[in-house]
Amino acid sequence: MTALQQLERAHHPAVQSLVHVVLDDPDERVATAAIRTLGDIGDDWAIDILIDALRKGRGPRSRVAAELEELAPAPGPRLVPLLRDWDSAVRFWAATLLGRYPNLAESSLIGLTWDQEPNVRAAAVETLGTRSGAAVGAALVARLDDGEWFVRVHAARAAGRVVGAAAAPTIARLLADPKWWVRTAAKDALRGIGTDAVPSLLSVLAHDDAFARNGAAEVLQDIGFVDFLALDDPTSLLLERIYEAGGDRYREAVAARVDDVPKQEVQAA
Amino acid sequence: MTSALTVVVLVCLAYLVFTTVVYVTLTLIGAVESIVRRHESSSADYAGMGASRFTIPVSVVVPAFNEERVIASTTRWMLELDYPEHEVIVVNDGSSDGTLAALVEAFELEPYEAFVRRVFPHHEVRAMYRSPDHPNLVVVDKANGGKADALNAALDVARYRYVCAVDADTWFDRKALLKGMRLAVQDPAKVIGVTSHLTTARKPEEAMSAPQGRRRIDLHPLMAYQHLDFLRAFFNNRTAWSRGNYMLCSPGAFAIWRRDVLEEVGGYARTFTCEDIELTFRVHEKYLREGRDYQILCLTDNVATTEGPDTAGKLVSQRERWQRVIDETVWHYRRMWFNPRYKAVGLVGAPFYLLTEVLAPAFELLGMVALVGAIALGLFQPLTFAVMIAAIAFTNAALTASAVYFEDLQSRSYRKRDLAVLLLLTPLDFVLYRPLILWARLKGSWGFLRRDKSWNKFERNVRGAEA
């Protein structure tokens, strides 16, 4: 490992051939060092070897991906063909790495949201979550009903970012998802949407599922809606409904917070 | 009478030789592991990892009971760790002092409600707090239930795939999480637990504030010997255990676990005196019983300094508890002893604990009494006795010196002068420090037999007096 690094620092011509040997070393730690060295070099030939390593699984793919990510924007277009690779692990990493290239391969990524492999779908959804546009939004909303829970997790967060308030009613439904992590992601997404999500959240307050009601109350608290209501109209029926969804500790926490806030400030806000 | 005494002396001598051979072997294996890890660590791309979105987020969980004087500063320190995404969850475990008030004041906390799953068993949560300035800080206030109970409450709140359990009186290297997570990031499917090397001082924040290479070792004699003790525990034992995949103790001061693993095993056990070693045994037991491929690793990077007791009384109290915990755990998992089904854990790790930790106090006491008796009865010449003691002290010192060497080789943390003083203290460890530890271990063993489960938290050191 050290020898290879020394040769690289000295720009020795043998590095290119040596690195192939080291990359195929059965000891994963040695292969990892070669990957790191290739990332340090960053020339076209080194990028080609890294992409080849990603495709063939030479060395840990996560390490290869980390090096390729640091080289952004250089290898972007060369990653696009990997989206069609037969190996799902390669498609996964290609979709993930394309998160750094907002103008590349949108239609291919949308296509991958229907990939048979859930990891690939999740990666495509996550990457599309950094983009915008109607087609991207529609693809993300479609995945909110994915059969795999972790795809729904990514879809909720991504749809919240890309689609915003228009996706709030669908995301709010996920507050009653059977998987806890999906509910958590839905809460994050609705928090991100902010006050535009209030109507959708209020509709969940009457849900049969107590956790869904709790979740809606939690988000209403986190976006400041409850505090505003508690200061503006402390006797409102709506506030009482939210308190019922949140429980006693929720009510006490709101009371403790609003006690410290001068009413004029809230009205001004 | 004399023949019985001779047998006892010979048995004790055989035990001494056996444990010495074991420690020397472990030190040699640990040396290989240290060298490999050092190479890895020196070529590790911490800057890249710190900036990469592929670095797995971590929930740092901090149980706190009566930590009023340190909690605000340690929490601030943890929030400032160099890591792309981490949250800090502090659990005030029903403190009777101003721990919660200190946190509320320092971080301008406000109460809020978060609805979390009740996956792990714990006492009632009274309130939750968040900080407007630190969105990645959560403070949980709950009824007192002990450290394991507090950790379980934190696990329920934790959002990330990996959790790092830490002590509230511990100061970390800024790169502690990066160092700890380096191997987990490379193979998250296999690496389910990571711990690393840590040391002890009266004022840990001073030690960790200084730059690498200029850190001071607390040379108060008791602290210096504890420092050596920690070095030995890591470099003479745990690095070798890690290499053999039978790492049996992820210490509570810095233990990274994959959260789903903790969920599978039911979280931290609340029925043991202390939670860390038992959890490590339990995870091994389950994974090996089910034939699963996994790794629990101990790295050699110095990631933290924790507050250690600065009087003999406090030290004995702490070590007495540690001994009880070891006894409880090793006894509880006795089905693993010498059981090939549990691979290296059953054939090496658990027996190692049994022979060198559980039975050691009894052998040491018996050996001393028998030797004195043997000399009194003329079975053993005082000169032979002196030579024996010198040989033991030398071996002990050699092992300790090797630990100092490998630690320095790994981290280059400390000033050379401090290391020299440590080395000078090494030969006297056997007569100045070990008797205290023996006494503590005997008390701990007795406590185990009496089924004592008390914690005996030691009073804060010089900082406590200064505050």
What is the least distance, in Å, from the CA of A70 to any CA of chain B?
8
Nearest CB partner across the interface for A221, out of B36, B112, B159: B112
Per-residue confidence (pLDDT) for residue B459, from 0 to 100: 65
Residue A107: pLDDT band by 50, 70, 90 thresholds? very high
A184/B54 touch (CB, cutoff 8 Å), yes or no = no
Checking if the pLDDT of B171 tops 90, the result is yes
Mean pLDDT, all residues of chain A: 91
Show residues of chain B in contact with A179, CB under 8 Å.
none
Non-local CB neighbours of A60 within 8 Å, separated by 6+ positions: A28, A31, A32, A35, B186, B187
Checking if the pLDDT of A265 tops 70, the result is no
Checking if the pLDDT of A226 tops 90, the result is yes
Q: What is the mean pLDDT of residues A204-223?
A: 96
Tell me how far apart the alpha carbons of residues B184 and B161 are, in angstroms, rounded to a whole number. Answer: 11
Please state which of the ranges B209-213, B214-218, B327-331 shows the lowest mean pLDDT.
B209-213
Per-residue confidence (pLDDT) for residue A68, from 0 to 100: 92
User: pLDDT tens across B180-209, in order?
Assistant: 998 888 788 899 999 988 999 998 988 888
Per-residue confidence (pLDDT) for residue B467, from 0 to 100: 42
Handedness of CA A127, A130, A132, A134 (dihedral sign): positive
Show residues of chain B in contact with A253, CB under 8 Å.
111-113, 127-128
Helix%, strand%, coil% for chain B, nearest 5: 55, 15, 30
SS3 B62: strand
Checking if the pLDDT of A262 tops 70, the result is no
A5/B43 touch (CB, cutoff 8 Å), yes or no = yes
CB B299 within 8 A of CB B179: yes
Neighbours of B60 (CB within 10 A): 29
Checking if the pLDDT of A152 tops 80, the result is yes
Checking if the pLDDT of A5 tops 90, the result is no
Per-residue confidence (pLDDT) for residue B49, from 0 to 100: 84
Percent of chain B with pLDDT over 90: 67
Best B55, B112, B115, B139 member to test A by mutation, with max A CBs in 10 Å, is B115
Query: Considering only CA atoms, which of A128, A126, A89, A88 is closest in space to residue A108?
Result: A128
Q: In chain B, whose CA is at the least distance from the CA of A69?
A: B52
Helix%, strand%, coil% for chain A, nearest 5: 75, 0, 25
Tell me how far apart the alpha carbons of residues A15 and A137 are, in angstroms, rounded to a whole number. Answer: 46
Please state which of the ranges A44-58, B110-124, B206-220 shows the lowest mean pLDDT.
B206-220
Residue B431 at interface with chain A, using a CB cutoff of 8 Å = no
Per-residue confidence (pLDDT) for residue B200, from 0 to 100: 92
CB A63 within 8 A of CB B186: yes
β-strand pairing of B137-142 with B191-201:
unpaired
Q: What is the mean pLDDT of residues A70-87?
A: 90
Tell me how far apart the alpha carbons of residues B367 and B385 are, in angstroms, rounded to a whole number. Answer: 12
CA distances from B72 to A55, B68, B331 (A): 48, 8, 38
CB A58 within 8 A of CB A24: yes
Q: What is the mean pLDDT of residues B160-167?
A: 96
Nearest CB partner across the interface for B113, out of A1, A32, A221: A221
Per-residue confidence (pLDDT) for residue A198, from 0 to 100: 97
Checking if the pLDDT of A264 tops 80, the result is no
Residue B390: pLDDT band by 50, 70, 90 thresholds? confident
Please state which of the ranges A47-61, A251-265, B136-150 shows the lowest mean pLDDT.
A251-265
Best A97, A250, A261 member to test B by mutation, with max B CBs in 10 Å, is A250
Q: What is the mean pLDDT of residues A43-50?
A: 90
Per-residue confidence (pLDDT) for residue A29, from 0 to 100: 73
Per-residue confidence (pLDDT) for residue B465, from 0 to 100: 47
Q: What's the complex ipTM?
A: 0.86
CB B276 within 8 A of CB B257: no
User: pLDDT tens across B309-319, in order?
Assistant: 999 999 999 99
Mean pLDDT, all residues of chain B: 91
Which residue would you say has higher pLDDT here, B99 or B462? B99
Non-local CB neighbours of A96 within 8 Å, separated by 6+ positions: A65, A123, A126, A127
B54/A62 touch (CB, cutoff 8 Å), yes or no = yes
Nearest CB partner across the interface for B115, out of A1, A214, A257: A214
Per-residue confidence (pLDDT) for residue B47, from 0 to 100: 83
What is the least distance, in Å, from the CA of B456 to any CA of chain A?
33
Q: What is the mean pLDDT of residues B103-118?
A: 94
Nearest CB partner across the interface for A249, out of B52, B113, B185: B113
Q: In chain A, whose CA is at the least distance from the CA of B54?
A: A66
Query: Considering only CA atoms, which of B180, B235, B208, B174 is closest in space to residue B58?
Result: B180
Checking if the pLDDT of A27 tops 80, the result is no
